[in-house]
């Protein structure tokens, strides 16, 4: 939900650097002058080439090195820009523009390393917007929200029309547990610049983390055209068992940002709200979209089984076992279907797969006994019934009753042979 922030801050960073361009002193000699002209023309690559040549001729000229650092930065070569700004500060310690620009560059790479430079710039010009704002950002990046807050406040005092500062302050307040203040300042940021309207979704995320789902839902529902917000609304309603209410939110999100996980969620909502045909149709669509997805196949198979479509379920469990042949779960489900459809040799094969993959559970022993019993292999059937009874220990009363009954009958059959 924080996707609103980096792109807009990048624009702010560029604005700061362009503003600082006014600070640069004109160089009279070539290629320094050519480099400055290239910067003015926003031909950053050419500026780098010219100013690099100038710096090689005058490695102690802090003005040329500053211009080169700026050109590197505007050309997207931030590491080289960082190195040049450090050289400038070695030659001219405490130079405000270099401290500020270096701090801004380091802010995203290493907030800890950015702090001394931004603090120096803030001390030099305590009423300026940029050092206050970016120092707040660096501190927030380190999780020091209480320390960041006064710097955001100072930035707002310097520029009351900055949505970035209001949004930064709101985020700090949110992390400090002051959600009402955060909402007010996110709202202020959006009033200044509508692009910041989604920023308040950070508050909804905060409520979700705290388990305050009704409060989160109230924020999400303020954004009926935001696919991500609608998806989160649908998730909250689904988890609350309000499946019918979840469906329109999930469907809106899927139309705007199709994703198999959303499709499955919608299918589940339809199934749980007794709209079985719609749910099955969407599950089939999900299987077609993700033919090699094990979990989707298993879900579709179980749903078909619940609807008494045993042949369809059989096919889905068979596909799941092929996709993930080391899954005991898939082979177990497949064996169940094969028994119900009286495909006993196939079911025995599936149970052999289960046994090869790990210890058999009580249910596997019971199923194996039934299969062998149906195939009139009474000796092995009796052995498996007895193993099942020894292991069950009263946990499966119905099956244990059946196993005892069949064991007595098989004893009689075998005694007559």
**Same domain flag for 402 and 417:** yes
Mean pLDDT calculated for residue range 29-54: 88
Evaluate whether residue 27 is within a structural domain: no
Q: How far apart are CA 313 and CA 377, in angstroms?
A: 28
- Both tokens of 292, joined, read 């090699």
CA angle 191, 193, 196 (to 5 degrees): 90
Classify 263 as helix, strand or coil.
helix
Classify 144 as helix, strand or coil.
coil
Query: What percentage of the chain has pLDDT greater than the value 90?
Result: 85
Evaluate whether residue 84 is within a structural domain: no
**Same domain flag for 369 and 401:** yes
Instruction: Determine the pLDDT at residue 340.
Output: 93
Of how many residues is the chain composed?
417
Among the three residues 290, 315, 342, which one is the final residue of a domain in this structure? 290
DSSP 274: T
The per-residue pLDDT for range 287-307, each reduced to its tens digit, is 998 999 999 999 999 999 999
**Same domain flag for 398 and 387:** yes
**Same domain flag for 230 and 279:** yes
**Same domain flag for 353 and 363:** no
Mean pLDDT calculated for residue range 37-59: 92
Evaluate whether residue 282 is within a structural domain: yes
The per-residue pLDDT for range 197-237, each reduced to its tens digit, is 999 999 999 999 999 999 999 999 999 999 999 999 999 99
Evaluate whether residue 337 is within a structural domain: yes
Evaluate whether residue 326 is within a structural domain: yes
Instruction: Determine the pLDDT at residue 30.
Output: 79
Q: How far apart are CA 125 and CA 103, in angstroms?
A: 14
**Same domain flag for 372 and 398:** yes
Instruction: Determine the pLDDT at residue 261.
Output: 87
Q: Is the pLDDT of residue 6 over 50?
A: no
Between 29 and 51, where is the model more confident?
A: 51
Would you place residue 252 in the very low, low, confident or very high pLDDT band (cuts 50, 70, 90)?
Answer: very high
Would you place residue 403 in the very low, low, confident or very high pLDDT band (cuts 50, 70, 90)?
Answer: very high
Which of 13-27, 251-265, 367-381, 393-407 shows the lowest mean pLDDT across its residues? 13-27
Residue appearing with tokens 């209480």: 146
The per-residue pLDDT for range 65-120, each reduced to its tens digit, is 999 999 999 999 999 999 999 999 999 999 999 999 999 999 888 999 999 999 99
- Asked if residues 203 and 186 have their Cβ atoms less than 8 Å apart, the reply is yes
CATH number at residue 285: 1.25.40.10
Instruction: Determine the pLDDT at residue 19.
Output: 37
Would you place residue 398 in the very low, low, confident or very high pLDDT band (cuts 50, 70, 90)?
Answer: very high
**Same domain flag for 373 and 348:** no
Among the three residues 343, 358, 373, which one is the final residue of a domain in this structure? 358
Evaluate whether residue 255 is within a structural domain: yes
- Asked if residues 4 and 197 have their Cβ atoms less than 8 Å apart, the reply is no
Q: How far apart are CA 159 and CA 153, in angstroms?
A: 10
Would you place residue 15 in the very low, low, confident or very high pLDDT band (cuts 50, 70, 90)?
Answer: very low
Structural domain span for residue 319? 291-358
Q: How far apart are CA 99 and CA 88, in angstroms?
A: 9
Transcribe 102-137 into DSSP letters: HHHHHHHH-HHHHHHHHHHHHHHSTT-HHHHHHHHH
Instruction: Determine the pLDDT at residue 29.
Output: 55
Query: What percentage of the chain has pLDDT greater than the value 70?
Result: 93
The per-residue pLDDT for range 139-154, each reduced to its tens digit, is 999 999 999 999 999 9
Cis peptide preceding 196, ω within 30 of 0:
no
Question: What integer best gives the mean pLDDT of the chain?
Answer: 90
Instruction: Determine the pLDDT at residue 11.
Output: 38
Instruction: Determine the pLDDT at residue 250.
Output: 96
**Same domain flag for 324 and 370:** no
Evaluate whether residue 87 is within a structural domain: no
Q: Is the pLDDT of residue 24 over 50?
A: no
Evaluate whether residue 254 is within a structural domain: yes
Q: How many helices (H) and strands (E) does the chain have?
A: 24, 0
Q: How many structural domains does the chain have?
A: 3
């Amino acid at each position: 939900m924080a996707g609103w922030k980096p792109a807009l801050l990048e624009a702010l960073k560029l604005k700061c650097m362009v503003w600082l361009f006014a600070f640069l002193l004109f160089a009279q000699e070539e290629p320094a002058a050519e480099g400055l002209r290239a910067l003015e023309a926003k031909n950053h690559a050419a500026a780098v080439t010219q100013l690099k040549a100038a710096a090689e001729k005058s490695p102690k000229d802090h003005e040329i090195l500053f211009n080169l650092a700026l050109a590197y930065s505007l050309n997207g070569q931030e590491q080289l820009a960082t190195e040049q700004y450090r050289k400038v500060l070695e030659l001219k310690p405490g130079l405000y523009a270099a401290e500020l620009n270096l701090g801004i560059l380091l802010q995203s790479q290493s907030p800890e390393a950015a702090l001394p430079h931004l603090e120096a710039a803030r001390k030099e010009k305590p009423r300026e917007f940029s050092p206050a704002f970016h120092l707040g950002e660096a501190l927030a990046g380190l999780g020091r929200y209480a320390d960041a807050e006064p710097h955001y406040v100072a930035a707002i005092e310097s520029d009351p029309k900055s949505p970035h500062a209001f949004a930064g302050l709101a985020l700090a307040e949110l992390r400090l547990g002051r959600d009402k203040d955060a909402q007010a300042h996110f709202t202020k940021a959006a009033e200044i610049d509508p692009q910041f309207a989604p920023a308040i979704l950070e508050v909804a995320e905060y409520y979700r983390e705290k388990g305050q789902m009704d409060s989160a839902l109230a924020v999400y529902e303020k954004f009926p055209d935001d696919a991500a917000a609608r998806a989160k609304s649908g998730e909250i309603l689904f988890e609350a068992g309000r499946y019918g209410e979840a469906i329109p939110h999930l469907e809106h999100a899927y139309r705007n940002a199709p994703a198999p996980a959303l499709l499955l969620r919608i299918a589940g909502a339809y199934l749980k709200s007794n709209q079985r045909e719609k749910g099955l149709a969407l599950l089939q669509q999900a299987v077609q979209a993700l033919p090699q997805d094990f979990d989707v196949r298993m879900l579709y198979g179980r749903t078909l089984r619940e609807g008494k479509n045993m042949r369809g379920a059989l096919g889905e469990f068979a596909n799941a076992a092929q996709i993930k042949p080391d899954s005991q779960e898939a082979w177990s489900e497949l064996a169940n279907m094969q028994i119900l459809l009286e495909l006993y040799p196939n079911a025995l094969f599936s149970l052999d797969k289960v046994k090869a993959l790990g210890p058999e559970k009580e249910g596997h022993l019971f199923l194996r006994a039934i299969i062998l019993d149906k195939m009139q292999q009474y000796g092995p059937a009796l052995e498996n019934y007895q193993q099942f009874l020894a292991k069950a220990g009263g946990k499966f009363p119905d099956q244990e009753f059946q196993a005892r009954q069949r064991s007595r009958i098989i004893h009689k059959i075998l005694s007559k042979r």
